[in-house]
A and B are shown apart, each in its own frame.
Chain A
């Protein structure tokens, strides 16, 4: 039944006012409720609160735990804490910061750089925080300030623990650094439900191990109940729950090997990752150039920051896991293994190489003019014949290759235990469809370039080293990791990071042996032979040269190409050949041929690690010979 309502303004208004009256009564009730609460707090319980407030001004003060120490696999300290005096300012308690700083400079030394850093720090912090203006005060400076303290309200001397990285630039991309907690960190802390535990904590891991193992390194904040006077200074401690120090970390890194490898690079840019194949322990993780993490701890000043951030050499880039490069010929052994596994080639099956390969109306060239002649699988790896792989690529299905090679961690994150790893690209039809909206179809020519490690392939040095380690280990893949053990210094309990085989790549033992024999051949009689001459142990390796710009028609001439566009030099290797103890990938950016520039680094690292021997740089391979990789 429908009935038209006749508006009755009087009644409407009456109803409205009645509602309003209800609201008014509720408001009054609520305000009276508040008043009751005030009476309860301020009259009924006043004595109790007054006692709490007047005679016992108890302040609950967080006691920050000591941060865990980081050592290498043999116990050499890579990150520790030292205690020092700092002079700190609480901006909200200081009337005029500038004039205070001027006065302070008369008592202790304050450089313009300190001022700049302080200014930056105070812009990033809340003004009731106590911010350091100078650290590592000498005893004399402490004494001088103490005598003048009355002149500086809001300025205090504090004893604090500082983080120090004794090796400076060495392994900087592994360790990372800590820095002052900022808003983004606070968000992260809140998400991890650690807000209370970070009360009083000023520093937090920002990158590298310091970031990824923050939860182990930080420790448990303690609580101290202190009585304080009206001025807010602690008079005596009433109770104390001591903090629990953070756990110490033992890395898999061998710092001597790490430093040796870094020095081998000299001023060259590049990356090196060395892995123990049977455990996944990362023995060396080089990213050159590096940076000094000590600069970041107290807040980096603008000058240093800009120098690092704007440098064309990108010292802040973690090359081993965030630099993706085409693998070049280092990709070939894996292609060969795929061909064996999928019955595309037998070891003896060969081709006659004219020095080029034609598909449709496109021609791909081999580096060696006139070709390598008769090439079987062994020769194709030992002398790095392109034509063999052009042909193999043209006869293969990219999705098949993708499905097989991803098991070697190509184009996949390896799961290394520091954050920020890139996945790189191991192309497939689906990948190209998603990546190139204009030209989504996989072309036969794409497979040809992909087969020699060019085209769309880009991998990180970490992936290359992992793939090498997996192959050296006959297909048993271990997740690469940097932390070997976590030690609780209180209980003495040590949690070892047990080597865990993440998976077994399904390959036939015989096929692996074919490829490994060829890799040994590379270092014995092929492109790596000169670098490994007289090594005294048997090793396997593969050279690679990754094009930075697409190869134009005609041969490549390094001297005519601007340095940044020159080819990257690659070398992957493992040793000893029968029972591999180390597998590595070396990348030297824009250096040119892998045989000439990357293989000698690998040789020296092996000599050092296996024989404890410092080897002089082997005579450089002449370019004519080197270019066939």
Chain B
């Protein structure tokens, strides 16, 4: 009886994906304990976030891709509406208007959009699958542009670019011609100098400090200098759990969120970093495999975009903390402290599972 219940519950769960995700999340809780100066209540809070996220994942995994498809438009519109609401009534945290207060909790609607946008695009492309024309790509670009603009205005250029990336992945996988991709790439490279004057000063500062962190040791270069010292001093084997010094010396005010990787890199060293990279590679690889074997265009595009999103977040965050990318506010997936991101990421995993496990039922 219990076995049957278990089977029923686990029917739509991809064991491999879940195991890898849980491994990363467990590592994350461990680092968080260290990064928060052994603050158990913070770890407990993140544990609750994880629990909620797992329930969400299970729920989504049990939904069929058809249901997901139906939810595409409402979710997208909800996301846009919430972004508008943030622009009008949002809370200001650290100088940017990103949060929306919902009585008991605050949410960051741009997080929801990270899932809603690929969903919407995948729905759109499947609907017009039979006759994909350039016009469809133009419309898709508009669908990406609208939320992007709202997020740029928050101002949160980093998240806006990541959102553009997630939309771009769908376009790429849907078969946007190489000519256009090359053209866009070239235009983008050529347009960079034009974009420069439009950036906020602090954003410019962040890019400049990437090349010369010492130009502003109290300002923008500060985080990069400190986080590279932390990682570099970790060496091959690391200083050991709770033994890190650099990351703890009040150098990194965001050390339990965006800069948590500095703590990890210092305490677990190159070896730890490789383990984490491999775990992410396994997670992304599994996602891409699910993508390759999905039975519908919708499933393929959605699963592909989500897998690549995981990659993007992990890459951008680690790149930023280790000083090869400009500082943008991106959490390290499944590791950084924060409820909204955790739920969104497991929601993505749930979608991957849904695409994977409903495959045969769909194929008939």
Chain A residues with a Cβ under 8 A of chain B: 5, 7, 12, 15-17, 19-20, 23-24, 27-28, 30-31, 33-35, 37-39, 41-43, 45-46, 48-50, 52-54, 57, 59-60, 62, 92-93, 126, 128, 183-184, 186-187, 190, 193, 195-196, 199, 221, 223, 228, 230, 232
Contact = CB atoms under 8 A, between A and B. Distances in A.
Contacts of B23: none
Contacts of B218: 60, 62, 196, 199, 221, 223
Given A27-B308, A37-B324, A187-B95, A128 B233 contact: no
Interface of B: 36-37, 39, 92-95, 130-131, 169, 172-173, 175, 201-202, 216-220, 222, 228-236, 245-246, 248-251, 253, 265, 269-270, 273-274, 277, 280-281, 284-285, 288, 291-292, 297, 300, 304, 308, 311, 315, 318-319, 322-324
A50 B201 contact: no
A23 B304 contact: yes
A37 B224 CA distance: 14
A308 B75 CA distance: 47
A34 B315 contact: yes
Nearest to B202: A190
A135 B4 CA distance: 66
A34 B277 contact: yes
A43 B277 CA distance: 17
Given A92-B37, A183-B93, A42 B269 contact: yes
B59 to A, nearest CB: 27
Given A24-B285, A43-B236, A46-B236, 6 more contacts: A35-B274, A41-B323, A42-B234, A42-B236, A60-B222, A195-B219
A269 to B, nearest CB: 35
B175 A19 contact: yes
A226 to B, nearest CB: 11
A54 B230 CA distance: 11
Nearest to A44: B232
A90 to B, nearest CB: 9
Contacts of B318: 34
6 contacts: A31-B277, A41-B232, A49-B231, A57-B245, A184-B92, A199-B219
B308 A16 contact: no
A62 B250 CA distance: 13
Contacts of B269: 42
A38 B231 contact: yes
Contacts of A28: 281
A5 B175 CA distance: 15
A5, A12, A28, A34 pick with most chain B CB within 10 angstroms: A34
A31, A38, A187 pick with most chain B CB within 10 angstroms: A38
B201 A42 contact: no
A487 to B, nearest CB: 27
Contacts of A16: 173, 175, 300
Contacts of A15: 175
A19 B173 contact: yes
A53 B246 contact: yes
Contacts of A19: 172-173, 175
A50 B265 CA distance: 13
A16 B122 CA distance: 14
Contacts of B251: 59
Contacts of B292: 17, 20
Nearest to B132: A5
A28, A49, A186 pick with most chain B CB within 10 angstroms: A49
A42 B232 contact: yes
A130 B273 CA distance: 33
Give the 6 A-B residue pairs with the shortest CB-CB distance, closest first.
Answer: A49-B232, A196-B219, A53-B233, A41-B232, A42-B270, A49-B233
Given A19-B173, A23-B172, A196-B218, A31 B281 contact: yes
B20 to A, nearest CB: 15
B274 A128 contact: no
B330 to A, nearest CB: 14
Contact of A38 (B130, B285, B322): B322
A15 B315 CA distance: 26
A595 to B, nearest CB: 51
A571 to B, nearest CB: 45
A12 B173 CA distance: 11
Contact of A50 (B235, B291, B297, B324): B235
A193 B200 CA distance: 10
A49 B229 contact: yes
A42 B237 CA distance: 9
Nearest to B249: A232
Contact of B95 (A24, A43, A190, A199): A190
A60 B284 CA distance: 39
A34 B219 CA distance: 25
A452 to B, nearest CB: 44
Contacts of B315: 30-31, 34
B300 A54 contact: no
Given A7-B130, A35-B277, A187 B92 contact: yes
A314 B288 CA distance: 66
A45 B304 contact: no
Nearest to B248: A232
Contacts of B280: 31
A38 B273 contact: yes
A45 B230 CA distance: 12
A12, A20, A52, A93 pick with most chain B CB within 10 angstroms: A20
A28 B231 CA distance: 22
Contacts of B300: 16
A23 B232 contact: no
Nearest to A183: B92
Contacts of A17: 292
Given A23-B173, A37-B324, A42 B273 contact: yes
A390 to B, nearest CB: 48
Nearest to A60: B217
Nearest to A35: B277
B291 A42 contact: no
Contacts of B277: 31, 34-35
A10 B175 CA distance: 15
A20 B270 contact: no
Nearest to A185: B95
A115 to B, nearest CB: 21
A12 to B, nearest CB: 8
A62 B92 CA distance: 26
Nearest to B131: A5
A41 B169 CA distance: 31
Contacts of A12: 297
B225 to A, nearest CB: 8
Given A30-B311, A195-B202, A128 B232 contact: no
Given A19-B173, A59-B251, A199-B218, A53 B245 contact: yes
A46 B235 contact: yes
A59 B201 CA distance: 26
Contact of B230 (A30, A53, A92): A53
